[in-house]
Chains A and B, each alone.
Chain A
């Protein structure tokens, strides 16, 4: 199905926002201003955006340690996120969570998560809640080829099938679980979707570097799940442009691999070529969006640098609601 110009522009804008957010962090982290561990999502933008463009605030998502893309795709505010990563008390989580723990309930974003595989059971609970509410909401867990090997993921898939929960297990196979290849670690010859299928779910597969592939696949998946058929799963084949964490020397990559995937498997480049080639959008409009986003990122970084720092007293608040 052909998307409107507005929808195409929005999809490009969202993917580009994630890309520039991450590319800028990659630069800023080297200066030492940002504390802690940061895991970048560059290369996988088409998955987060192709999924989330179908969702409303009533639909829930839960993410991973590589969560910036999912947060931005679900609508979490870019400046609040940048401030959070800078550790400001004006950040999305008051500087108490950092890169790995950005959440925003108002956007239906149940959190990035530092524990690989922890999100799947939580997503099932959110799906059961959606079923109880009876308004057609769904819950989506983003996992990688690493989390697909965790027992929590297996338990969650079975439990979702047993309860017919409207839960969607999205596996973003970026070929590396931390520093280990998926063909080694995923015992089903690297095939994740067949595993979900074995749990009794209908599964789909898509090209996670192609926005239209993700978007069209998800239209079918959501139609199926919202119709009350129970959970479903999708495996998207995608690419991770950076290391597991910032500072990872990536000695596990093949010679020239990073250049090759940036040249051949870049979802933004593919999207631009496709929509300009078909005459749907012009390079000029996309260039102007690029400039707008670079300005936004610059202003987010400026704001994060100037934002209020937390104080020692802030350590003690927000542990409990009632003490």
Chain B
């Protein structure tokens, strides 16, 4: 066990999986970087430094630097997967998913069903998502709410470096298509990462704080905010269950329902805009399946129904915060 950065956990897992299975190939824009330039290959190594050194180690056939052509990248990943390979495609920013949505939504997600269960398309699509770096409206979005709604895809959102490793290894070995969402402000965060083989199964949430008063549910960057909120509330004598979903599809319904059965109060925090997101989905689930256990109306903490703004003050006001989450928890406790 060693402390590592989230980005290092991803880089090392890609390398380990490529070492383990010669069918694993990477493709994406600037994942090598510097191709066709005086600076030469690996002048960049991926803008998130998650593929640095892999070109030198595994060669151009398995680390494919692509033109800026998202539909071609994702479509080619689909063709590679249908031909027995295990491609890991990178979309530099999750916001670019709109450019290649057809290949994800109409192709990759549907092949198995549409073709009567006879084909497999084990594609992993890695995307950097989320706000917090003042990258404004087209480079800061959360896209998991759209992708979670698509049958045929699995959607993974690691919060910690350990989960980045365990969930990515699982994603690459999984026979179904997996969307792997990396929060861009988490890349430099550090945490203990298990050595050697480490797999985290999908659909198993992680309880990161235990308490009996309120259940806080989240994933990705927002999970850390929930933990900070739980610390604030603990100082007031309020105990929180904090649940890290890890994957939004499949969803660990049981972990959520079991916790709400005890606490009777629920706050769901989602970085996606407020309509039709994971918070509304989980609140609907809990209302339908644990209505009697509820002691107060559940609360969703989300950004407002606006694009992601640019200025520091605006982005800070846009995003949920530990304070906003704590206030939501207090609201469930004071409800009469």
Complex Cα spacing A323 to B249, Å:
10
When A131-B61, A158-B67 are in contact, do A320 and B116 touch as well, CB less than 8 Å?
Answer: no
Is the CB–CB distance between A114 and B67 below 8 Å?
no
Is the CB–CB distance between B112 and A152 below 8 Å?
no
Complex Cα spacing A97 to B154, Å:
21
Q: Taking each of A93, A139, A317, which has the highest tally of chain B beta carbons within 10 Å of its own beta carbon?
A: A93
A60 at the interface (CB under 8 A from B): yes
When A158-B69, A159-B69, A320-B176 are in contact, do A122 and B82 touch as well, CB less than 8 Å?
Answer: yes
Other-chain contact of B120, A127, A152, A321 (Cβ < 8 Å): A321
Task: Produce 1/0 per residue, A83-113, CB < 8 A to B.
Answer: 0000000011111110001011100001101
Is the CB–CB distance between A97 and B115 below 8 Å?
yes
Q: B101 CB to closest chain A CB, in angstroms?
A: 11
Complex Cα spacing A159 to B69, Å:
8
Smallest Cβ-Cβ distance to A162: which chain B residue: B67
Is the CB–CB distance between A105 and B25 below 8 Å?
no
Is the CB–CB distance between A60 and B152 below 8 Å?
no
Residues from chain A with a CB closer than 8 A to the CB of B85 are 129, 132
Smallest Cβ-Cβ distance to B77: which chain A residue: A125
Smallest Cβ-Cβ distance to B112: which chain A residue: A318
**Which residues of A, 154-172, contact B by the 8 Å Cβ criterion?**
155-156, 158-159, 162-163
Other-chain contact of B83, A125, A152, A159 (Cβ < 8 Å): A125
Number of B residues with CB within 8 Å of any CB on chain A: 44
A17 at the interface (CB under 8 A from B): no
Residues from chain A with a CB closer than 8 A to the CB of B25 are 128, 132
Residues from chain B with a CB closer than 8 A to the CB of A121 are 71-76, 78-79, 103
Complex Cα spacing A209 to B60, Å:
41
Residues from chain B with a CB closer than 8 A to the CB of A97 are 114-116
A124 at the interface (CB under 8 A from B): yes
Residues from chain B with a CB closer than 8 A to the CB of A158 are 67, 69, 72
Complex Cα spacing A126 to B85, Å:
9
Smallest Cβ-Cβ distance to A139: which chain B residue: B79
When A125-B79, A156-B75, A320-B176 are in contact, do A103 and B66 touch as well, CB less than 8 Å?
Answer: no
Complex Cα spacing A42 to B116, Å:
26
Other-chain contact of B116, A93, A123, A151 (Cβ < 8 Å): A93
A319 at the interface (CB under 8 A from B): yes
Is the CB–CB distance between B176 and A322 below 8 Å?
yes
Smallest Cβ-Cβ distance to B203: which chain A residue: A323
Is the CB–CB distance between B79 and A118 below 8 Å?
no
Is the CB–CB distance between A152 and B71 below 8 Å?
yes
When A94-B117, A110-B82 are in contact, do A132 and B61 touch as well, CB less than 8 Å?
Answer: yes
Is the CB–CB distance between B113 and A319 below 8 Å?
yes
Complex Cα spacing A158 to B118, Å:
31
Is the CB–CB distance between A103 and B69 below 8 Å?
no
Smallest Cβ-Cβ distance to A60: which chain B residue: B83
Residues from chain B with a CB closer than 8 A to the CB of A321 are 112, 120, 175-176
Is the CB–CB distance between A92 and B72 below 8 Å?
no
B21 at the interface (CB under 8 A from A): no
Residues from chain A with a CB closer than 8 A to the CB of B106 are 114-115, 118
Residues from chain B with a CB closer than 8 A to the CB of A118 are 75, 102-103, 106-107
**Which residues of B, 119-159, contact A by the 8 Å Cβ criterion?**
119-120, 151-152, 154
Complex Cα spacing A137 to B107, Å:
23
Task: Produce 1/0 per residue, A293-323, CB < 8 A to B.
Answer: 0000000000000000000000001111111
Residues from chain B with a CB closer than 8 A to the CB of A92 are 116
Other-chain contact of A159, B62, B72, B80, B175 (Cβ < 8 Å): B72
Complex Cα spacing A318 to B71, Å:
25
Other-chain contact of A125, B81, B116, B154, B176 (Cβ < 8 Å): B81
Is the CB–CB distance between A120 and B75 below 8 Å?
yes
Smallest Cβ-Cβ distance to B82: which chain A residue: A110
Is the CB–CB distance between A318 and B79 below 8 Å?
no
Smallest Cβ-Cβ distance to B249: which chain A residue: A320
A130 at the interface (CB under 8 A from B): yes
Residues from chain B with a CB closer than 8 A to the CB of A91 are 116
B64 at the interface (CB under 8 A from A): yes
Residues from chain B with a CB closer than 8 A to the CB of A122 are 75-76, 78-79, 82, 103, 107
Other-chain contact of B154, A120, A126, A151, A320 (Cβ < 8 Å): A320
Other-chain contact of B111, A111, A115, A131, A317 (Cβ < 8 Å): A111
Task: Produce 1/0 per residue, B217-228, CB < 8 A to A.
Answer: 000000000000
Chain A residues proximal to chain B, CB less than 8 Å: 60, 62, 91-97, 101, 103-105, 110-111, 113-115, 118, 120-132, 139, 151-152, 155-156, 158-159, 162-163, 317-323
> Mind listing 18 A-B residue pairs with CB under 8 Å?
A91-B116, A93-B115, A97-B116, A104-B118, A105-B118, A111-B114, A111-B119, A115-B102, A118-B107, A121-B73, A124-B79, A125-B87, A156-B71, A320-B154, A321-B112, A322-B175, A322-B176, A323-B250
